[in-house]
Amino acid sequence: MKTLCTSIAVALLFSLNPTVLAAADGTPGELIMKVNALEDNRFSLHLANLQRETTYISLEDLYGASYMTKVVKDHNGYRVNVNLDNAPHGRYLLKIRQNGQVYTRVVYYDREHLLFSQLNVE
């Protein structure tokens, strides 16, 4: 009975989770990027379906100054919390580079807001 309840809960979770739905109808191997605002000028970045390929993560202002860089190797997923306390208020580009493709989201940050644009893939 416990296994049945767990299976039903997992099935419901997958049916209601938009990230999982995006993976289900996307191309096999398509990178999945999810960004969530947290408290205290922070946000979480979740990457899935990295296919163990080298992936570059950067957060840059509009003038090209870098506030965060990470290189992820040999992982299928990655999660990081980014703290913007030391960054000036403004707009930033959150870029994920993998296999010649660049996934970009604009991050708007001020004292009261932390907003994210839609995903752009180049």
Cβ atoms of 33 and 79 closer than 8 Å: no
pLDDT > 90 fraction of the chain, expressed in percent and rounded: 68
Question: 22-26, 79-83, 89-93, 113-117 — which is least confidently predicted?
Answer: 22-26
The arrangement of secondary structure in 31-121, i.e. its CATH architecture, is Sandwich (2.60)
Alpha-carbon gap, residue 95 to 32, rounded angstroms? 13
Cβ atoms of 111 and 100 closer than 8 Å: no
**pLDDT at site 23:** 42
Q: Whose CA is closest to 31, among 95, 93, 83, 91?
A: 95
Say whether 64 sits in a helix, a strand or coil. Answer: coil
Task: Give residue limits of the domains in the chain.
Answer: 1-29, 31-121
Q: What is the mean pLDDT of residues 42-54?
A: 95
Write the DSSP symbol of residue 19: H
